[in-house]
Amino acid sequence: MKRSERAGLFERRTADEHAAAGRRGKAAVRCIGAPERDYSAAVEHLQADLASVVFSNATLIALDKLLVTTAGEGCASLDTGHVTVLADALLANPKYGASAGYRQSHHLLMARKADMADDKEEALGHLNQAADYGPSNDLHMMMVATLISAHRFDEAREYVKSALDSLPWQPLRRYNTRKNLERLNDYANELEGLVQAGDTPPTDDTTESDQHDSSK
């Protein structure tokens, strides 16, 4: 298969959740269905291809899912370090590296990887770098969740206070962002109260919708 065809294959297959070809493409990259297979050669090809592929959100989604897969389910030939290799390859791609949005997404991904390894300081370092590219709801959620999980409640509230001073100007986004931040502040207060009472609830970046799903 030609290099350009491999790159196109990655883009098309990660974009279509329902197509059979898409499922096979995802399995090859994410180790779904055949975790015992050796994917090291595929990663080497992708590393080369990602340096020049066209920008696509599907690529970012695939990397995020690869991180979850390698951290949770595991693969015989891949680990979370391969996610870093592929993410760095994308960052070196001018089509991605020139995008402030992608550079933030890169640091958010690396922060998630560090948090999965329970390295809060590295996670916060990446989150602070992500903040250099502007505020976002994903950044707010991850920053507050990471600070809370480290029991740094005052810093979490201070972050929320600062973010409330930099709300987007568009009315609907402003309203939604303010409400999300206020809920994160309430979340920090609630968990701090539980910790002070001697309880140690789990703290992570699970969204409320995920929590509702898991309670069904």
Note every long-range contact of 117-123, with CB atoms under 8 Å and residues 24 or more positions apart, other chains counting.
117/80, 120/146, 120/149, 120/150
User: What are the tens digits of pLDDT across the range 45-61?
Assistant: 788 888 888 877 778 88
Contact status, residue 191 vs residue 154, Cβ threshold 8 Å: no
Q: pLDDT under 70 in the chain at which residues?
A: 1-35, 73-74, 76, 200-216
Smallest CA-to-CA distance from 139 within 155, 123, 121 is with 123
Residue 127 to residue 104: CA distance in whole angstroms: 8
Question: 31 and 78 in contact (C-beta within 8 Å)?
Answer: yes
Q: What is the pLDDT of residue 125?
A: 97
The pLDDT value given to residue 187: 94
Q: What are phi and psi of 136, to 5 degrees?
A: -160, 155
Please say whether the dihedral angle defined by the alpha carbons of residues 112, 114, 115 and 121, taken in this order, is positive or negative: negative
pLDDT number for residue 50: 83
Q: What local confidence, expressed as pLDDT, does residue 69 receive?
A: 79
Q: What is the pLDDT of residue 6?
A: 41
Domain regions of the chain by residue span: 1-98, 124-206
Contact (Cβ atoms closer than 8 angstroms) between residue 147 and residue 124: yes
Give the per-residue pLDDT at 198.
Answer: 81
For residue range 161-181, list pLDDT tens digits in order: 999 999 999 999 999 999 999
What is the token pair recorded at 70? 């390698």
